[in-house]
Amino acid sequence: MSSHRSLSALAALVLAVSLSACGGGGGSSFSPPPPPPGSPTVTISPASLVFGGAGSGAQTFTVSSSLGNVPVPTIDLLGCAPVASLATTSTTLPATYTVTPQGNGSCTVVMTIAHQSSSLGITVGGASSPTLGPISPVSVFVGGTAGSVTVSASSGTLTADATSCSGIAAVGGSGGASPQTFTIAGVAPGTCTLVIADGASSTNAAITVSANPGGPNALTITPSTLTFASPSASAQHTTLNFTGNVGAVSFNETDCDGTNGRPRIAFFTLTNVPPGQPATLPQDITVTPFGTAGTSGLSCSIVFTSSVGATQAVLTVFIQ
């Protein structure tokens, strides 16, 4: 396994040397910008409701916000029409909602306030919902390479709710049977929450969109998402390219290689480039899973950055 890490480090060195003539010296590492001050949190308590059947008595849940006394949130009911009804007499938060079961099944309620969302799962009559794993945060730039998230489930239909991202990020993907990939393109600086639900189960992706620092100068990677059928699946390829002036190129793969405490998910090498030899862009990149047990359902990101402030490129790796 140690040879994998050394190959990846060599790949970064070759990129930096070959591109330095375009206007740069050393590279830089990537860290997502913090959310803007005053970004609210939306809290739902309890986080789920379970009813024995359609004839069961109503139950309640409460919604509050870190912003305090604000108007009630925007509500999206994902598959709830035949399962349960929702009602409240409150006009501001904190608010209490009453849920009345209508029929056997499961669904998700999404509450959104000021570009942040939380969700509540509802189950009636013992309906089962698959467990959805966590999603890595997504950071993109306005006008830069789109990011993506891929979610898998053992059954059911995956649905995305991007209400909180209106005006900040454009989310693509129609949903459906597992697995599903949803793309995220930056529209305006800000943060929002993408909720993906399957029955009464849901998982959230924190989205951060930053102003484009590079203008026409940008790194691009196509495709920007690689999905592997298993932790031991064969390698896949993607292409790193650029527009304008990008200077020296470096990378940050700590989200994928296990050095930040996460499992070892995947590593990359430069395709058909011998060790120590220069490479020019566009460059084909080979991405290979480590084969680590227990990484099914996980995703990670490899971030390529420019020494002269050009827009970065982000490659998302997903293991089914």
User: Does this chain's domain 2-32+215-319 share its CATH topology with 42-136+145-209?
Assistant: yes
* Contact between 156 and 129 (Cβ < 8 Å): yes
CA pair distance 255, 147, nearest whole angstrom = 15
How much is the average pLDDT of 58-83? 92
* pLDDT (tens digit per residue) in 179-238: 999 999 988 888 999 999 999 999 999 998 888 766 678 888 888 888 898 999 999 999
β-bridge partners, 43: 64
The label of the residue with tokens 């002036």 reads 245
Structure confidence at residue 276 (pLDDT): 67
* pLDDT (tens digit per residue) in 252-281: 888 899 888 889 999 998 888 876 677 788
Give me 157's structure tokens: 């239909």
- CATH (one of 3.40.50.300, 2.60.40.10, 2.60.40.60, 2.40.50.100) for 2-32+215-319: 2.60.40.60
* pLDDT (tens digit per residue) in 80-105: 999 999 999 999 999 999 999 999 99
Please say if the pLDDT value at position 3 is more than 50: no
Q: How far is CA 148 from CA 181, 298, 299, in A?
A: 7, 13, 10
The CA-based angle 299-242-32, given to 5 degrees, is 40
| Sign of the torsion formed by the C-alpha atoms of 34, 205, 306 and 268 | positive
Kind and range of the H or E run holding 249: strand 249-252
Please say if the pLDDT value at position 1 is more than 80: no
Domain boundaries, the chain: 2-32+215-319, 42-136+145-209
Of the two residues 52 and 67, the one the predictor is more confident about is: 52
% of the chain beyond a pLDDT of 70: 86
Class of domain 42-136+145-209: mainly beta
Please say if the pLDDT value at position 48 is more than 90: yes
Confidence band, pLDDT 50/70/90 cuts, at residue 37: very low
